[in-house]
Amino acid sequence: MRRSTGGRLLLVLLTTCTAVGATVTVAAAAATGCRVDYTVASQWGGGFTTNVQVTNLGDPVTAWRLAFAFRADERVTQGWNATVSQSSTQVTAANASYNGSLATGAATSFGFQASVSGTHTPPASFALNGTTCTGASVPTGGPTATTPPTTAPTTAPPAGGWNPPANLVTALNQVWQHEESTYSDLYGFRNYGWDQIMANRGYVNYCVRWDSSARVTTAQRDAIHAALRRQFKKWMDVMAGHNGWPYSDVAVNIVGWAVRERAQLEWTDDSVDIYVNDIREDAPQCSAPCGRFFNQSGSYPNCPGGAAHHYDQSLWLTAGFGGGAGGDWGQRVGSEYFLGAVNQDDIHIFLHEVGHTFGLDDFYDWSPDVGGFLMKAGSATQITEFDRWMLRDWWRHLKSRYGY
Ligand SMILES: [Zn+2]
């Protein structure tokens, strides 16, 4: 049930970043046209959200476009109450269907979420319908003090297709806010199970790391493969038909086995690639040039056999290992545990670790008030309704990065 190295579930998410709220008001100083109040509503390691209020100080308009430029490497990931588009550093926000008309003196607001590698500095100027906002009175004098929020920052993702049971809404929001405030790079991270499946267009490839001195029969191999497929499918079935998720079925291909000595594997067919004595973390691994963890661009120029032989995740089975670990790299459980449970309906420790691969958190230090569930280690042995909705919530928040 342990999360992977460093106490956070993903190997590359090692640091904890506490959410810091900052309010910065930018307003120009003359008296015509328009005024923009640009507020950084929330900020965390790797991203931020804004609220932008546009006040029309000129003649009435029936449509508006607000243009501004980022100063660094900010990338807009989603917007609300406007269509926010970006080309290089240039950003344009166009009104939504319901907020295009602005009378003289009227204001409207929109917001967006963006990633950034450093600290976000608000844009220096804004133009409304091509005219630079020179503004009127300045409501507050320049950047204001930073005030940590009392709750974690939240985003306002599109609502379409999101319809959890009413009794779970509060808990789901609590979970998401907790993840936003404790993950170091929640929105910038690009190797969730989601990213892997979308990069492959609907399948996932596995390597089995046989971290044991025991031999493996062909029948055991086939049983392990079948169990892996059956368990992974339990999570993917949660997504089928939900909120634009494009895959009714996600194939699990086991493309390789890693082992210390070839003779441990009793089969002679060539149905999987076999990697011998390639040791990392004191355990056999499939070749790094074939692993997505090591090649997050998604190209595998040095993988023998090419991209078709790449693996996205490892099923790491370690002799004498208790509990489990999971992350973007795959899942690790005891080899005796997995084989002992290989025909069980729910291999629950493994299922829990797959949850981590899709971003789901642990609940050792706090828990929403929804009873037992799989991701709360020790409180359930199968995927519950709450687990299902936590998974769907990840898709809700990430799907815009794939164009959904
Ligand atoms: Zn866990």
Please report the pLDDT score of residue 30 as a whole number: 54
Q: Do 174 and 114 have their domain in common?
A: no
The verdict on 127 and 267 lying in the same domain is no
Task: Identify residue 216 by its one-letter amino acid code.
Answer: V
Collapsing DSSP to helix, strand or coil, 196 comes out as helix
In a domain, 161, yes or no: no
Residue 399 gets which letter from DSSP?
A: G
Considering the domain architecture, whether residues 119 and 200 belong to the same structural domain is answered as no
Least confident of 144-153, 201-210, 244-253, 389-398: 144-153
How many Å lie between the centroid of ligand 1 and the Cα of residue 271?
32
Q: Are strands 90-95 and 82-87 parallel, antiparallel or unpaired?
A: antiparallel
Question: Who has greater pLDDT, 158 or 240?
Answer: 240
**Greatest Cα-to-Cα distance within the chain, rounded to the nearest angstrom:** 82
Q: What is the CATH number of the domain that holds 190?
A: 3.40.390
Mean pLDDT for 143-155 is: 45
Report how far ligand 1's centroid is from the alpha carbon of 132 (Å).
51
The number of distinct structural domains making up the chain is 2
Q: Which residue has the higher pLDDT, 306 or 138?
A: 306
Name the residue with higher pLDDT: 144 or 208. 208
**pLDDT attached to residue 99:** 74
What's the 95 CA to ligand 1 centre distance in angstroms?
43
128 and 184 in one domain? no
241 and 327 in a single domain? The answer is yes
What average pLDDT does the chain have?
A: 86
- The residue among 31 and 149 whose pLDDT is bigger is 31
Residue 18: per-residue pLDDT: 24
Cα 360 to ligand 1 centroid, rounded to whole Å: 8
Place of tokens 């210390």: 260
CA–centroid distance, residue 387 to ligand 1 (Å): 13
Query: Tokens in use for 72?
Result: 């660094």
Question: Which phi and psi angles does 77 have, rounded to 5°?
Answer: -110, -25
Percent of the chain with pLDDT over 70: 86
- Distance of alpha carbon 278 from the chain centroid: 30
Between 168 and 161, the higher pLDDT residue = 168
User: In this structure, is residue 242 part of a structural domain?
Assistant: yes
398 φ/ψ angles, rounded to the nearest 5 degrees: -100, -15
156 found inside a domain: no
Last residue of a domain, one of 111, 132, 153: 132
The pLDDT value given to residue 397: 97
Q: pLDDT tens across 9-18, in order?
A: 343 322 222 2
| Pair (121, 212) in one structural domain | no
Neighbours of ion ligand 1 (CB under 5 A): 1, 3, 362
| CATH, residue 71 | 2.60.40.290
Please count the CA atoms within 13 angstroms of the CA of 223 that sit on its side-chain side: 15
Q: Angle formed by the axes of helices 166-182 and 385-398, to 10°?
A: 60
Q: 305 and 213 in one domain?
A: yes
Instruction: Name the residue among 109, 106, 95 with its Cα closest to residue 50.
Output: 109
- Say whether both 192 and 106 belong to one domain: no
The C-alpha atoms of residue 207 and residue 201 are separated, in whole angstroms, by 19
Q: Do 356 and 311 fall into the same domain?
A: yes
Ligand 1 centre distance from Cα of residue 376 (Å): 8
Does residue 381 belong to any structural domain of this protein? yes
Summarize pLDDT for 282-336 with one digit per residue, the tens. 999 999 999 999 999 989 999 988 999 999 999 999 999 999 999 999 999 999 9
Alpha carbons 400 and 77: distance in angstroms, whole number? 7
Reported as a single tens digit per residue, the pLDDT across 341-386 is: 999 999 999 999 999 999 999 999 999 999 999 999 999 999 999 9
Backbone angles phi, psi at 157, to 5 degrees: -70, 165
pLDDT value, residue 160: 59
Residue 112 lies in a domain: yes
- CA-nearest of 136, 66, 122, 137 to 96 is 66
pLDDT at 74 over 50: yes
Q: Which of 107, 132, 157 is the last residue of a domain?
A: 132
Q: How far is the CA of 350 from the centre of ligand 1 (A)?
A: 10
For residue 138, report the distance from its CA to the centre of ligand 1, in Å: 50
267 shares a domain with 173: yes
- What is the Cα–Cα distance from 151 to 248, expressed in whole angstroms? 37
Mark whether 57 and 174 lie in a shared domain. no
Residue ranges making up the domain that contains 91: 34-132
300 in any annotated domain: yes
Query: Both 186 and 332 in a single domain?
Result: yes
Residue 151 falls inside a structural domain: no
pLDDT at residue 32 greater than cutoff 70: yes
Ligand 1 centroid to residue 377 C-alpha, Å: 6
Q: Which of 333, 334, 330 is nearest to 355 (CA)?
A: 330
What is the reported pTM? 0.64
Half-sphere exposure in the Cβ direction for 333 (13 Å, CA)? 20
Task: Report CA(269)–ligand 1 centroid distance (Å).
Answer: 36
Q: Rounded to an integer, what distance in angstroms lies between the CA atom of residue 354 and that of residue 25?
A: 43
- Residues 78-105 have pLDDT tens digits of 876 788 888 888 898 988 876 788 888 8
165 C-alpha to center of ligand 1: Å?
25
Q: CA angle 177-188-369, nearest 5°?
A: 20
Please compute Rg for the chain using Cα positions: 25
Looking at per-residue pLDDT, the higher value among 70 and 37 belongs to: 70
* 149 within domain boundaries: no
Final residue of a structural domain among 86, 104, 132: 132
Q: Which of 10-24, 78-92, 129-143, 204-218 has the lowest mean pLDDT?
A: 10-24
